[in-house]
Amino acid sequence: MVNVEQIAGIAMTVITYSGVAKSCYVEAMRKIKSGNKEEFEAEMKKGDENFVLAHHAHLEILNREMTTAEPQITMLLAHAEDQLMSAETIKTIVIEMESIIEEVRGKNKDE
């Protein structure tokens, strides 16, 4: 039988770590905009570390669902999924923005 309290606790873990990861990725974008490559890399690393923790918690929920054969989707779990995916999306955008910013900076130096 599915333990709703445990699922809720794991979902909150996913939400927490995903939220921190998103914040780190956004902060990384601010750092690269201001030209601070070292701080950009540090924020990205911190974001990645939190994303991995969120992902591990997410896998725990999936494994529990597989072993109990009782799928149960709650609004909290749906929110956790949303947070995890948006963190991944923001990371992808920040990586692309970083390359664009670096390219523009390079062109401006040449002028």
Q: Return the active site residues.
A: 79
Cα–Cα dist 44/41, whole Å: 5
Name the 3-class secondary structure at 3. Answer: coil
Distances (CA, A) of 106 to 33, 34, 46, 101, 103: 13, 14, 27, 9, 5
